[in-house]
Amino acid sequence: MSSLESVTPALSIHLMSFSATNPGRGGWQPLLDRARAADAAGIDRLVVSDHVVFGENLGAYADPEIGGIEGGQQPTGPDGHWLEPLTTLSVLAGSTSHARLQTGILLAALRRPVVLAKTLATLDVLSQGRVDLGVGVGWQREEYEAAGLPFEGRGKLLDHSLEVCQTFWREQSASHRSERLEFENIHCMPKPLQPGGVPIWVSGRLNRNVLRRIVRFGSGWIPWGNDARDPAAGLAQVREAMEAAGRDMKGFQTTAGLRIRKDASGAVDVEQTLEPVPALVEAGITDFQITQLPVPDAADAARDAWSAFVEAFRKRVGR
């Protein structure tokens, strides 16, 4: 077992909280039904993503130099319907009881820090401490322009947002002074239920700025781009940076995506899908995320399908 032996390996699903077109007559009910079924089946974490607005230069998603992913394709056009993630997780919090609720990722810098801190603390309290905040800088210039914020320097904006959130979460009488914001003796209640505030998972390719952000704020890392293809190698870099800064890796979490494998008939091959898991656990990966596991539409049938997958996963990791 790795040095992260205190963390129980978890199984996550990335919910499709977006649609290429208007969902139509059924609306978003299938999303809510699937979330409830997954929670009942024992899925450990429900993850939703974020886009506030779109411009029309969607080819930028394939540019790793600005935060995209090489060869990637944005899953919707500019008129795709994307639910706001914190609102979505608030609805899911009221209809689930087990699964943790994560943004994967939230463009946190687009929100005013004090409002973001309050919103996340509220969600954490109402969900009984089940919130994980995954953050990143994003790839789309137009989202920052629509918010009246500079695209260049967006990493510094993110750092500022995270610093302010943690200040409000951790200090009874909070004060902050920077070139962007000053306040003294400000009270922001309630605090999150989780000690130290909502855990922050930093997403990004491992460059100097992302590593620094992980060390400063991170309870976890969500690999992106080429790093997502070999998260164990990237985790070694994270471990080195954390140790150099004097931070203990105990409890630190890292996500790896699981590629769904199918047999000759087209059915999901559970054993082949889960085959990489033990070695990744040994390397320190703690969170295994699936995006498109085909399950029936009916709630009971979906719960049964996920339950079988959960049971196989737990056997693989010794839970």
Does the CA dihedral 249-250-253-256 come out positive or negative?
A: positive
CA 151 – CA 63 distance, rounded (Å): 15
pLDDT reading at 157 higher than 90: yes
**Buried b or exposed e, range 66-88, using 16+ CB within 10 angstroms:** ebbbeeeebeeeeebebbebbeb
Mean pLDDT for the chain overall: 95
Other beta carbons within 10 Å of 286 = 23
**Residue 139 contacts residue 67 (beta carbons within 8 Å):** yes
Does the CA dihedral 131-135-143-72 come out positive or negative?
A: negative
Question: In whole angstroms, how large is the CA radius of gyration of the chain?
Answer: 19
**Residue 99 contacts residue 130 (beta carbons within 8 Å):** yes
> CA 13: distance to chain centroid?
10
Phi and psi, residue 247, nearest 5°: -95, 135
pLDDT reading at 47 higher than 80: yes
Q: How far is CA 90 from CA 18, 102, 111, 191, 203, in A?
A: 16, 11, 17, 17, 22
Q: What pLDDT shows up at residue 3?
A: 37
pLDDT reading at 223 higher than 50: yes
* Residues 6+ positions from 267 with CB-CB distance below 8 Å: none
Helix axes 113-126, 154-170, angle to 10 degrees: 50
3-state SS class at 215: helix
> Which tokens is 24 given?
């139509």
Q: What pLDDT shows up at residue 60?
A: 96
Q: How far is CA 246 from CA 4, 203, 204, 235, 241, in A?
A: 16, 21, 22, 16, 9
Q: pLDDT digit string (tens) for 63-100?
A: 999 999 999 999 999 999 999 999 999 999 999 999 99
pTM: 0.95
Task: Please tell me whether the peptide bond between 231 and the residue prior to it is cis, using omega within 30 degrees of 0.
Answer: no
pLDDT reading at 194 higher than 50: yes
Q: pLDDT digit string (tens) for 256-313?
A: 999 999 999 988 999 999 999 999 999 999 999 998 788 888 888 889 999 999 999 9
**Residue 284 contacts residue 232 (beta carbons within 8 Å):** yes
pLDDT reading at 2 higher than 70: no
Q: Taking Cα atoms as reference points, which of 45, 91, 104, 54 lies closest to residue 74? A: 54
CA 244 – CA 203 distance, rounded (Å): 20
CA 47 – CA 38 distance, rounded (Å): 12
> Which tokens is 266 given?
């087209």
